[in-house]
Amino acid sequence: MTDTSVASRIGSEPERAGTSVEPSGPKPRRISPGRIGLYAFLILSALFFLIPLYIMIVTSLKGMPEIRLGHLFNFPGEVTFQPWADAWLHACTGRDCFGLSPGFLNSVKITVPSVLISIVCASINGYALTFWPYKGANLLFGLLVFGAFVPYQVVIYPLIIGLSSVGLFASLPGIIIVHTIFGMPILTLLFRNFYAALPAELFKAGRVDGAGFWRIFFYIMLPMSVPITIVAVILQVTGIWNDFLFGVVFAGRQNWPMTVQLNNIVNTTTGVREYNVNMAATILTALVPLVIYFVSGRWFVRGIAAGAVKG
């Protein structure tokens, strides 16, 4: 886990605890053929991961004539930010030519409430499952975790019918409900595991003082939940921002999130394909999750790891 344990494991100098033998012989060489191979592999891999990003950035800064020459990897001869402005304001998604900005706003309008509601629901679920298990609660939780594995296509149509029967299909509340539903399994698991690891004395002390379900939740559990809430926020914001399927099915044309509009800009253009505008649009769409990823760093990894432990 920590650097020290790793170091002591792989370190070439064995520990000589208990003996007083002086270290002798040549110092272990740092640069061996093995090390070179190791770094070559890692650097080549890093290139594989970085090249697409490089292509995107470079192409988005070129003019169309330069792109048509086909020098994909070349640095732009003349840097232009026009494609970025076009992608944001003028690119056409089917009929409308307002660029990605409406999609950005829609994504914000979808993501913020979805994240808030799903986290509130999941934290109450996790708290109730840990400290107030009622008869059947674990069965419900089992069903919920099962839901984390279900392919979306299996429940999409019943959801379409259900939401349209209450008049929420193709609306902002509709898509928010859908994201809340599909975020709930993994988030509930996250919060339940977190609360289960807290000392039970916290809860018992609250009970002795006569506090009930909600008082203990708001005054004891919530203030302690900050770290897990950060993980949950990162997991949900990136997940919902990156969603395409639910957006295209449940949001309705006027609420289409950025990912849907991006796909429309790129894959349904008629006439000349403006590759530079397309790539600028792609970077703009990826920007929010990328910023979250780089700012949150280890929290993000922890989120994936926590999300992955469902197996």
- Contacts (CB under 8 A) with another protein, residues 11-50: 11, 14, 38-39, 41-42, 45-46, 48-50
Which residues, 173 to 212, sit near another protein by CB under 8 A? 180-181, 184-185, 188, 212
CB 176, CB 114: distance < 8 Å = yes
Query: Closer to another protein at the Cβ: 229 or 242?
Result: 242
DSSP 17: T
> Which one of residues 28, 70, 210, 271 is an interface residue with another protein (CB under 8 A)?
70
Which residues, 101 to 160, sit near another protein by CB under 8 A? 121, 124-125, 127-129, 132-134, 137, 140-141, 143-144, 146-160
301 binds another protein (CB under 8 A): yes
166 binds another protein (CB under 8 A): no
Query: Could you count the other beta carbons within 10 Å of the beta carbon of residue 141?
Result: 19
Spatial separation of the C-alpha atoms in residues 125 and 110, rounded to whole Å: 22
Query: Could you count the other beta carbons within 10 Å of the beta carbon of residue 128?
Result: 19
> Which one of residues 263, 274, 277, 280 is an interface residue with another protein (CB under 8 A)?
263
Site size with another protein, rule: CB under 8 A: 103
What's the closest the beta carbon of residue 249 comes to another protein, in angstroms? Answer: 8
Q: Tokens at residue 231, please? A: 């993980």
Query: Closer to another protein at the Cβ: 40 or 97?
Result: 40
What's the closest the beta carbon of residue 185 comes to another protein, in angstroms? Answer: 8
304 binds another protein (CB under 8 A): yes
Dihedrals phi, psi of 93, to nearest 5 degrees? -110, 90
10 binds another protein (CB under 8 A): yes
Nearest to 211 by CA among 132, 304, 130: 132
Q: Which residues pair with 302 in a beta bridge?
A: none
Spatial separation of the C-alpha atoms in residues 227 and 78, rounded to whole Å: 46
DSSP 253: G
